[in-house]
């Protein structure tokens, strides 16, 4: 059992190293890339849409489309359900697939392609689509283009084959050198690994806290470093440039050890840049608590109660953590747009290019 004394291993690695095994609950998802000419001609009427995969192989599909009268749900080339401007249906009996997609086809406006957000892998519990969200101005972030994940060192041969079929071609590793050495990535054939070390210059994660309050402060301080730390800015610049430069047929992954903090800010920044509302960004961030619930519970159960109380804030994601990052943006840059420009080098031209690649509707 690890002690609560001063250590040399960073807290992020310690927390993640204690997390073992376990699957993740089903998650919701939304849009996949639509044909560009179709999306340009027809605004997407859906204001909400999601797919949830059930443990029994069924799928629940929900939507709201105020501008439509009728909606068809299409899977594997056939209509599997119908509904009105809003609906909730359960679909059963579909064949197994890497990801089961559903086309929501309204009688007015453009369609959406939906899938459960979680990509089920044997060696990862938090590998999920980074997109599938509606922006404040009515666009949708494409799915199947950008993924976020926890560590990839335990991926099986079957996992790697699945990721290859999902066209994963670039993997950004946000971890520190000690983490990469202890648990090197396993990448699908044809994928390129890129180091984007967020915390290389941070002194925050060199000493384990001794109280729960100290642990929570470590996490909020770490979030601030992710915004204004020199190595963090360089790492996220590399990630966003990689997303901007990705081929339409190649998908990108960014990940850390638990897939919740460094990865969480990466996706929060990307979604915010694309115009996704803050409550939605927060929901995506907090979803790691659900995906990692079983693994985190097992880790805490293996410790004495006093130690578990200190470790729990390190394993959690909390609104206060992400909010401290946005607070740091306001304090150091004044606005998120200035953070994009001066912090991670995204000017208006590059932002327009990213939106053009990742938004539909």
Per-residue pLDDT reduced to its tens digit, 273-314? 999 999 999 999 999 999 999 999 999 999 999 999 999 999
Q: Which of 287, 343, 356 is nearest to 145 (CA)?
A: 356
Q: How many CA atoms lie within 13 A of 266 on its CB side?
A: 35
Token pair in block for residue 223: 């979030």
Q: What is the pLDDT of residue 278?
A: 98
pLDDT surpassing 50 at residue 108: yes
Contact 76, 13 (CB under 8 A): no
Percent of the chain scored above 90 by pLDDT? Answer: 83
* Entry pTM: 0.87
Q: What is the pLDDT of residue 245?
A: 87
Mean of pLDDT values over 184-188: 98
Q: Which of 260, 323, 254 is nearest to 287 (CA)?
A: 260
Burial (CB count <10 Å: 0-12, 13-18, 19+), residue 298:
middle
Mean of pLDDT values over 90-113: 95
Contact 193, 185 (CB under 8 A): yes
Long-range CB pairs of 175-178, under 8 A, 24+ apart, other chains included? 175/12, 175/13, 175/151, 175/255, 175/256, 175/257, 175/262, 176/10, 176/12, 176/13, 176/200, 178/9, 178/10, 178/13
Unique residue bearing structure tokens 């327009």 = 352
Fold category of 11-25+123-360 in CATH: 3.90.190
Please give the mean pLDDT across all residues of the chain: 89
pLDDT surpassing 80 at residue 8: no
Q: Are strands 192-195 and 168-173 parallel, antiparallel or unpaired?
A: parallel
Q: What is the pLDDT of residue 246?
A: 82
Domain 28-116, architecture per CATH:
Sandwich (2.60)
**61: part of which helix (H) or strand (E)?**
strand 59-64
Q: Which residue has the higher pLDDT, 301 or 23?
A: 301
pLDDT tier for residue 168 given thresholds of 50, 70 and 90: very high
Domain with CATH 3.90.190.10 in the chain: 11-25+123-360
Domain with CATH 2.60.40 in the chain: 28-116
pLDDT surpassing 90 at residue 56: yes
Unique residue bearing structure tokens 């840049």 = 273
213 part of the active site: no
pLDDT tier for residue 241 given thresholds of 50, 70 and 90: very high
Q: Which of 256, 268, 269, 299 is catalytic?
A: 256
Contact 203, 269 (CB under 8 A): no
pLDDT digits (tens, 9 = 90+) for 62-76: 999 998 999 999 999
Q: What is the pLDDT of residue 36?
A: 39
pLDDT surpassing 60 at residue 15: no
**Three-state DSSP class for 94?**
coil
Q: What is the pLDDT of residue 150?
A: 98
Distance CA 285, CA 231 (A): 22
């Amino acid at each position: 059992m690890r002690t609560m004394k001063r250590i040399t291993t960073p807290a992020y690695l310690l927390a993640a190293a204690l997390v073992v095994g376990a699957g993740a609950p089903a998650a919701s998802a939304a849009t996949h890339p639509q044909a560009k000419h179709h999306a340009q001609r027809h605004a997407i009427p859906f204001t909400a849409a999601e797919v949830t995969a059930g443990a029994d192989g069924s799928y629940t599909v929900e939507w709201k489309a105020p501008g439509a009268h009728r909606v068809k749900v299409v899977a594997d080339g056939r209509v599997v359900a119908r509904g009105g401007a809003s609906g909730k249906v359960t679909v059963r009996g579909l064949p197994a697939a890497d990801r089961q997609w559903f086309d929501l086809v309204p009688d007015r406006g453009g369609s959406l392609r939906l899938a459960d957000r979680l990509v089920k892998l044997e060696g990862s519990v938090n590998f999920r689509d980074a997109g599938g969200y509606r922006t404040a101005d009515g666009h949708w972030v494409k799915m199947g283009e950008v993924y976020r994940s926890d560590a990839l060192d335990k991926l099986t041969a079957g996992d790697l084959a699945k990721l290859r079929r999902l066209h994963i071609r670039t993997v950004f590793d946000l971890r520190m050198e000690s983490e990469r050495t202890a648990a090197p990535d396993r990448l699908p054939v044809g994928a390129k690994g890129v180091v984007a070390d967020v915390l290389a210059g941070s002194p925050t994660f060199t000493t384990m806290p001794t109280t729960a309050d100290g642990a929570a402060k470590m996490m909020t301080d770490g979030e601030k470093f992710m915004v204004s730390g020199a190595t963090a800015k360089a790492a996220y610049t590399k990630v966003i440039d990689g997303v901007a430069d990705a081929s339409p047929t190649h998908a990108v992954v960014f990940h850390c050890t638990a897939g919740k903090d460094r990865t969480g800010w990466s996706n929060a920044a990307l979604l915010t840049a694309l115009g996704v509302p803050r409550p939605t960004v927060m929901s995506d961030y907090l979803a790691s608590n659900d995906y990692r619930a079983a693994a985190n519970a097992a880790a805490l159960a293996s410790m004495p109660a006093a130690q578990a109380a200190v470790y729990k804030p390190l394993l959690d994601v909390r609104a206060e953590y992400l909010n401290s990052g946005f607070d740091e943006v306001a304090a150091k840059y004044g606005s998120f747009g200035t953070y994009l420009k001066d912090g991670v080098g995204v000017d208006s031209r590059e932002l327009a290019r990213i939106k053009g690649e990742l938004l539909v509707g």
